[in-house]
Amino acid sequence: MAEVRLITIGQKMPTWVSDACADYLPRFRHQFKLQIEEITASKKAGSEAQAEHQKKLLDRLKANDFLILLDERGRLYSTSELADQITQWELSGRSLVFAIGGADGWCETMRQRADSQWSLSKLVFPHPLARVIVVEQLYRADSVRQGHPYHRS
């Protein structure tokens, strides 16, 4: 079973975000169970916020975690490409950790530490919406890998 975590900067999400995530999380199969962890957002801005978020994320990571940063500079994937890429990441034998940054994004040091970077779009999404998109897309990609009909719905 792959341990899969989504670590997000920010808490106290609107009800619609909590409801959407609560709808998807139980659907994940046992072998790809997604857990969401929240990190308190910094009250600072710019590079100071990035540094604070970096420290908090690094404190949550285990030495062998495979880190995938959600970053606008990351790679864009189609659904089938993401499904294939998740399989490749799993073949590392390491636990997968997806991380959504704060309003100022991730610093260069974190991007260098990451094993991979994923961009949802050339557009920038507000944090609550990005969280829902990531959860849904991980579910969709895993459904494709399982041959589940969700992707075609």
The residue ranges of every structural domain in the chain are 2-152
d(CA 53, CA 99): 11
> CATH number of the domain at 2-152, please?
3.40.1280.10
Question: What are the backbone angles phi and psi of residue 36, rounded to the nearest 5°?
Answer: -105, 130
CB 98 within 8 A of CB 7: yes
Show the tokens assigned to 94. 């390491």
Model pLDDT for residues 47-77, shown as the tens digit of each residue: 999 999 999 999 999 999 999 999 999 999 9
What are the φ/ψ torsions at residue 95 (nearest 5 degrees)? Answer: -70, 140
Residues 85-139 have pLDDT tens digits of 999 999 999 999 999 999 899 999 999 999 999 999 999 899 999 999 999 999 9
* Model confidence, pTM: 0.94
Beta strands in the chain (DSSP E): 2-9, 32-39, 66-75, 96-100, 116-118
| Three-state secondary structure call for residue 48 | helix
Residue 5 has φ and ψ, to the nearest 5°, of -125, 145
